[in-house]
C-alpha cells in the first residue's frame, strides 16, 4: 500500500486538505527540509511544510514509533536563516549576532518548556525537544481542522452568540484559566492561533510568545506582538503597564467581538482616538450583559478590564441561552394550546 510523502494518507484515503497533491496553494518552503527527511534518530519522517512563521518552519510529520501524524516545529528564524537542502540539512545563521541568536534560541526552548507546564486538553500535547542540523525541534500533537478565522468566514460570521459561547468561548476560557493558574501568559491569542477540529473542539496553538507571570520582559526586544489583538501593555511596553491575565483577556475579548459581530474593533494603537463601537450596533438582539462584558474586556487601560478569566467567564455567562424551538416543537405547542382552549 503506497503512502503520500506529504500527508501520509494511503491509497483510497482522502489527502489532507493542504496536501500539495490536491492543493496548489499549499505552503511551499524553499529552505525547508525535503519530504522523507528523518529526524530524531529516524523517529520522525518529514512530510509537507504547514507554515513558516517568524521563528520557525512547522512540518507535518509521521511518528514512525507510534505510526500517527504529528507536528514538528523547526527553529528557523525567517530573516536570519539559510539552508541549501541539495547540499546539507544544516542551518546557517547570517546577519545576526551571537547574543541575539542565543536570545531567540532560548525563547524557542522556552516555548517547549511552557507547553509542557501548560499541558491540558485544550492545547496540543508535546512529545519532546531535540537538536539536530545546527537547529532545534519541538514535536507535538497534530490538530487537524481549520483556524477559527476560516471557520467563521465559511459561515459568514453568522453563528449566533449563544452557540459561539457554548461551543468555543467557554472551552477557550477554561483552557486559558488553567494556563493562568499555572502562572503562564499566552500573549498571542488570535483567530489564527485557534484551531477548530472536525468535531468542533477548539484548541489554543502557538506558545512562541508565552512567558511566566513573574518573568522580566527581557524578550520584549523581539516584539512578540500581533497588533490586531495586542493591548497597550504589549504594543507600548515603554509606558510601564504590567502584563498579566488582563493581557490575554484583551486578546480573547477581541476574538469574541469579531466572532459575534464580524467586525474588527480598533486596535490598541488606534485608541484612545478611536472608540470601540458597542457590539449592539452590529447585533441589535445581543443581550446587554454580553455586550457589557465584551466592552469591559477591551478597555484601553489594563486596570479597567477584567483582572482574571473567572470574572470574565462569569460575566459572559450571566445571560442564559435563549430557548429555540424546532418547527416540530412549535407545532406541538400550538396543538396543546388550542386543545386546552
Nearest to 192 by CA among 58, 5, 20: 58
The length of the chain in residues reads 341
CA dihedral 112, 114, 120, 125 (to 10 degrees): 0
**How many other CB atoms are there within 10 angstroms of residue 273's CB atom?**
7
Domains by residue range for the chain, with CATH? 38-141 (3.30.200.20), 146-317 (1.10.510.10)
CA distance 296 to 312: 9
Q: What is the pTM of this model?
A: 0.89
Detail the DSSP E strand segments found in 35-108: 38-39, 44-52, 56-63, 68-75, 81-82, 92-93
Q: Do the bridges between strand 81-82 and strand 92-93 make them parallel or antiparallel, or are there none, so unpaired?
A: antiparallel
Q: Which residues pair with 62 in a beta bridge?
A: 45, 69
Sequential pLDDT tens for the chain (341 residues):
699 999 999 998 999 888 999 887 776 667 899 999 999 999 999 999 998 877 899 999 999 999 999 999 999 998 899 999 889 999 999 999 999 999 999 999 999 999 999 999 999 999 999 999 999 999 999 999 999 999 999 999 999 999 999 999 999 999 999 999 999 999 999 999 999 999 999 999 999 889 888 776 544 545 567 899 999 999 998 898 999 999 999 999 999 999 999 999 999 989 888 999 999 999 999 999 999 999 999 999 999 999 999 999 999 999 998 886 666 655 565 555 555 54
Place of cell 493562568: 180
Nearest Cα to 283, choosing from 258, 300, 301? 258
Give the other-Cβ count within 10 Å of 271's Cβ.
16
Residue 207 CA from chain centroid, whole number: 8
Question: Please, which residues have CB within 8 angstroms of residue 124's CB and are 6 or more apart in sequence?
Answer: 71, 115, 140, 141, 142, 143, 203, 205
Amino acid at each position: 500500500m503506497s503512502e503520500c510523502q506529504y500527508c501520509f494518507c494511503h491509497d483510497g484515503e482522502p489527502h489532507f486538505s493542504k496536501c500539495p497533491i490536491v492543493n496548489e496553494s499549499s505552503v511551499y518552503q524553499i529552505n525547508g527540509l525535503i519530504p522523507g527527511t528523518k529526524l530524531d534518530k529516524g523517529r520522525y519522517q518529514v512530510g509537507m511544510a504547514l507554515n513558516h512563521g517568524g521563528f520557525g518552519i512547522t512540518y507535518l510529520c509521521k511518528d514512525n514509533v507510534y505510526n500517527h501524524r504529528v507536528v514538528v516545529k523547526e527553529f528557523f528564524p525567517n530573516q536570519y536563516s539559510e539552508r541549501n537542502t541539495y547540499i546539507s540539512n544544516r542551518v546557517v545563521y547570517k546577519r545576526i549576532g551571537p547574543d541575539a541568536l542565543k536570545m531567540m534560541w532560548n525563547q524557542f526552548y522556552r516555548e517547549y518548556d511552557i507547553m509542557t507546564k501548560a499541558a491540558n486538553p485544550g492545547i496540543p500535547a508535546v512529545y519532546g525537544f531535540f537538536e539536530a542540523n545546527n537547529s532545534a525541534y519541538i514535536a507535538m500533537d497534530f490538530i487537524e481542522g481549520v483556524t477559527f478565522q476560516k471557520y467563521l468566514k465559511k459561515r459568514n460570521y453568522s453563528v449566533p452568540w449563544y452557540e459561539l459561547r457554548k461551543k468555543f468561548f467557554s472551552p477557550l476560557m477554561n483552557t486559558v484559566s488553567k494556563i493562568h493558574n499555572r502562572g503562564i501568559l499566552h500573549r498571542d491569542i488570535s483567530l489564527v492561533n485557534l484551531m477548530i477540529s472536525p468535531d468542533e473542539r477548539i484548541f489554543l496553538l502557538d506558545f512562541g510568545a508565552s512567558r511566566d507571570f513573574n518573568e522580566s520582559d527581557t524578550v520584549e526586544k523581539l516584539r512578540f506582538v500581533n497588533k490586531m489583538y495586542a493591548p497597550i501593555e504589549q504594543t507600548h511596553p515603554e509606558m510601564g503597564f504590567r502584563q498579566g491575565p488582563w493581557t490575554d483577556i484583551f486578546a480573547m475579548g477581541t476574538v469574541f467581538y469579531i466572532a459575534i459581530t464580524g467586525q474588527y474593533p480598533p486596535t490598541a494603537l488606534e485608541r484612545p482616538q478611536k472608540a470601540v463601537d458597542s457590539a449592539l450596533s452590529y447585533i441589535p438582539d445581543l443581550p446587554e450583559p454580553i455586550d457589557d462584558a465584551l466592552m469591559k474586556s477591551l478597555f484601553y487601560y489594563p486596570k479597567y478590564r477584567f483582572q482574571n478569566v473567572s470574572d470574565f467567564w462569569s460575566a459572559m455567562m450571566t445571560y442564559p441561552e435563549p430557548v429555540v424551538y424546532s418547527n416540530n416543537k412549535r407545532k406541538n405547542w400550538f396543538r396543546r394550546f388550542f386543545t386546552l382552549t
